[in-house]
Amino acid sequence: MADSQGSVVLVAEGEKEKLDRAIALIESIKGEPSLRPEKSACANCLPTIMILNDEGVRREVKHCMYQGLTEEELPFFMKRQG
C-alpha cells in the first residue's frame, strides 16, 4: 500500500561523498511496508498520572480523551480494524 504513512522530509548538508552514501541508504529502505501495530484496548489503558497541587492534594490527569472507553464507545477511526 503506497499510503506514505510515516513519511518524512529530510534536508542534509555536507560533503558530496557523504551525502551520496546517505541518499543510497535512504533509497535502500524506501518502499518498505508500513508497520501495522496493534492498538491496545482503551478500556484498560493507563496513561493517567497523579499530580500534587500546591496544597498537596493529589488529582488524576488524563492524557487521552478515550481512556477507559469500551470499543463501542469509541469513534470509528479509533476502533480496532480487521
Query: Looking at the domain assignment, is residue 12 inside a domain?
Result: no
Q: Tell me the per-residue pLDDT of 16-72, one tens digit each, with 9 for 90 and over.
A: 999 999 999 988 988 777 776 677 788 888 766 777 778 877 777 777 888 888 989
Does residue 49 form part of some domain?
yes
- Indicate whether 3 belongs to any domain: no
Please check whether residue 2 lies inside any domain of the structure: no
pTM: 0.39
| Position 20 in a domain | no
Q: Is residue 8 part of a domain?
A: no
Dump the DSSP string for the chain: ----TT-------S-HHHHHHHHHHHHHHTTPPPP-PPPPPGGG----EEEE-TTS-EEEE-S-TTTT--GGGS-GGGSPP-
Structural domain containing residue 52: 42-78
Q: Provide the number of structural domains found in the chain.
A: 1
35 found inside a domain: no
